[in-house]
Amino acid sequence: MVIFLETGIPTDEVWIYDGRTNIKSVTKKNRPLNSSHFEEFEKVYGTNPNGKDSRKESLRFKRFSKEEIIKQNYRLDFTWLKEELSSEITEISDPHELALNLIDELEIITDNFKEVIQLLDENE
C-alpha cells in the first residue's frame, strides 16, 4: 500500500494505492522487487510534481474523503479489491508439494529476519 500525505495543510482526502491484492508476493530470493512493480502506480499517480492535478482513480488507486476515514476510526486499511484465487495455488494439489513450498517460504522469512537482526546488531 502506498499512502502520501502533505505536511502543513489540512488533510481532506487520502489517495491509497493497493499494490498487494491479486499480486504475486515479492520476495528477495524468488521474486525480487523491481521497477516493473511500480509501472501501473506511476501511470495513475500522474506527471505533475505534486500529483494533485493529474491523479486518476483506477481499480487499484482510490481517493478516500476525510469523512470516510473518520468512519473507519482513522484506520487507513481500506479494502476494495477482492482476492482472487491464484492459479499457482489451485494447480497444486499434492500435500508433499504444498509442504515443500511452505518450507521454501519459511526459509525466505527466516533469511529476512536474520538480515534484520544483523542490521540491528550493526546499529548498536
- Tell me which residue has cell 500500500: 1
Rounded CA gap, 37 and 51, in Å? Answer: 19
Q: Domain-by-domain residue ranges, the chain?
A: 1-84, 85-124
* Per-residue model confidence as pLDDT tens digits over 83-96: 776 555 555 567 87
Indicate the pTM of the whole model. Answer: 0.56
* Per-residue model confidence as pLDDT tens digits over 11-69: 888 888 887 787 776 666 667 778 887 888 888 887 665 655 678 888 888 889 999 98
Distance of CA 9 to the CA centre of its chain: 26
